[in-house]
Amino acid sequence: MDSTKTNSDFLEEEIVQLVNECKKQDPYALEKFFKIFSSDIYNFPIKIFQFDEEKAGDFFLFAFERLRDGKRFKTFKGESTFRTWFYSVLKNLVIDFLRTNEKSKTIQIQNYSNFNEIEKSLKAPTYDVLETQYVKDVFYNVLDHLEFDSRIVFKLTLIFYLNLDELDIKILKENYHKTNYEIFEFISQSKEYLIEKNQKLNQKQEKLNRLHLKLFSLQEKEKKILQNHNNNEELKKLHDNISKKKEIRNSILTKNNSFFLLRVPFYKIAKFLNLTTPTISNLYKKAEIMILNSEELKKIFTK
């Protein structure tokens, strides 16, 4: 089984074969599994639970620690697809992680539009699909009650996730004097820009994944050295190596503290709507506050 391929390149039969090898606690099979599915483990809490990248990194190590002995793979009986089973395992691990590390969690609405796509890929039960659709319906209902300017700016900013409806097009035509072609051109160019940005961010994310794995390996080595009372010189070199890896990781996180939410820059929207950038920023913030303060959404996320 070629571990250089991405997980989407494998047939279900190939994945099941690898999982069966992992059940036997084969170290080579487990290593292959983590190389192939490290991105899934890292991305899952970001897409479903809206973790930031640093918290997702902590979860990645938490999940790796609990999966690496191969015991959890024995729960895969083949009664569902591998992906359905795997995401169910990850969901339970996230819940365990949250219980272990914090008393409460915050769900940000900005990324929730991806949830339906994730549920489809998991072939979720009908109840979950209906529940997801209900959340989307409530969210769009809140958007519909925003003031026109805030609604338009919010949707244009998050055009990678949201769609313009007939009313939005009408507002752009009548209030901002835009033609169908101008609207289409702006959306097309914006999505091209965001797709390109997403590709670059995925590369950085892969680099983060490798760093998290390397850090974990170095920390494990550090534990063994401390247990065996090896010489201080070797320990110092290891500490220096760990510190350098952490500096690189923190540098990536600092420069990209919001790179998992793809937004059209305010200045691009300002140019399109013939408004100032501060005006666009204020309209977006106004919409964001209204959404976060929505009693309908609060009821959903506090259940």
pLDDT in tens, 182-226: 998 898 888 888 888 877 776 776 777 777 777 777 777 777 777
Are residue 89 and residue 202 in the same domain, yes or no? no
Within-domain flag for 178 = yes
The span from the CA of 237 to the CA of 233, in Å, is: 6
Are residue 86 and residue 164 in the same domain, yes or no? no
Domain count, the chain: 2
Are residue 76 and residue 215 in the same domain, yes or no? no
CA angle 40, 44, 47 (to 5 degrees): 125
pLDDT in tens, 37-88: 888 888 888 877 777 777 887 888 888 888 888 888 988 887 778 888 888 8
Are residue 246 and residue 172 in the same domain, yes or no? yes
Are residue 151 and residue 102 in the same domain, yes or no? no
What is the extent of the structural domain holding 212?
146-303
CB atoms near residue 262 (< 10 Å): 20
Are residue 85 and residue 12 in the same domain, yes or no? yes
Are residue 151 and residue 66 in the same domain, yes or no? no
State whether the Cα torsion 83-88-90-91 is positive or negative.
Answer: positive
- Kindly state the DSSP code that residue 261 receives in the 8-state scheme: S
pLDDT value, residue 107: 36
pLDDT in tens, 229-285: 666 777 777 777 777 777 776 666 665 544 457 889 999 999 999 999 999 998 998
Long-range contacts of 130-139 (CB under 8 A, 24+ apart): 135/300, 136/112, 138/296, 138/297, 138/300, 139/109, 139/112, 139/113, 139/291, 139/297
pLDDT in tens, 260-273: 578 899 999 999 99
* Whole-prediction pTM: 0.46
From 106, 132, 163, give the residue that closes a domain. Answer: 106
Are residue 211 and residue 262 in the same domain, yes or no? yes
Are residue 88 and residue 201 in the same domain, yes or no? no
pLDDT in tens, 132-191: 566 677 777 888 888 999 999 999 998 888 888 888 999 999 999 999 889 988 988 888
Q: Are 269 and 153 in contact (CB under 8 A)?
A: yes
What is the CATH classification number for the domain harbouring 37? 1.10.1740.10
Residues with Cβ within 8 Å of 239's Cβ and at least 6 positions away in sequence, in order, are 222
Within-domain flag for 57 = yes
Percentage of the chain exceeding pLDDT 90: 13
